[in-house]
Homo-oligomer: A and B are copies of this chain.
Amino acid sequence: MNVLIVHAHPEARSFASALKDAAAAELRSLGHEVRVTDLYAMGFDPRLTRADFLETADPAYFKPQREQLHASEHDSFAPDVQAQLDDLAWAQLVIFTFPLWWFSLPAILKGWVDRVFVMGRVYGGGKVHETGGMRGKRAMLCLTTGGPGSSYSSDGRNGALGALLSHVQWGMLHFAGFDVLAPFVVWGPARASSEDLAATLTVWRERLRAIEHEAPVAVEPLGG
């Protein structure tokens, strides 16, 4: 398998970074090809601007989707966006490793979605959900939280994690056409013992050993 890991944590020794490193090492040892996009390490700019495009479709009014569509048709994405699109096209599985910040993606990772999930390649023109541009590929979230799991239960203070992740799993990943694997969640690693963290890495590596054959989970839009 070709596996792309998209990582977003500013501290290389964080547990989220350890999950990234363990995934890359384990998947390579299994014979998979792995590319790692470490957004903080590469200084990825999360801001979607005209700098994403080598050509301009409408110089008078900047509508991001229009420019993305134009760049998709004319192969005129800026090199940093094109490199990410090449990695996406290459990947059969995309793993996102990050800390949950404010019940969502860190801005640097949200900006990767804003800039790389482009109209014309990833979605648009009838390509969405089951017909999305990422059809046939799989994606999964691997995340750490600040609070304990009990605060993310269905009657917890933060709300149910599955529902909180819906805007990512349904609204970004499935929208783009990915089959979504169950998230790998580590509750409050900052408060865990080193023994517990080591055990968690073992569970993570074991899951990765079988991931090639893991079935996607059902993801759905949020009801009212």
Q: Which residues of A contact B (CB under 8 A)?
A: 10-11, 13-14, 40, 46-50, 61-65, 101-108, 110-111, 113-114, 117, 129, 146, 153-160, 162-164, 166-167, 170-172, 175, 190, 221-224
Checking B104, B113, B224 against A163 with a beta-carbon cut-off of 8 angstroms, the contacting residue is B224
| Shortest CB distance A123–B (Å) | 10
Nearest B-chain residue to A160, judged by Cβ: B224
In contact, A11 and B106 (Cβ under 8 angstroms): no
Docked Cα-Cα span, A14 to B60, in Å, equals: 11
In contact, B159 and A170 (Cβ under 8 angstroms): yes
Nearest B-chain residue to A103, judged by Cβ: B171
Checking B40, B62, B105 against A11 with a beta-carbon cut-off of 8 angstroms, the contacting residue is B62
In contact, B10 and A64 (Cβ under 8 angstroms): yes
In contact, A106 and B102 (Cβ under 8 angstroms): no
Residues of B within 8 A of A221 (CB): 156-160
Checking B13, B164, B166 against A61 with a beta-carbon cut-off of 8 angstroms, the contacting residue is B13
In contact, A107 and B103 (Cβ under 8 angstroms): no
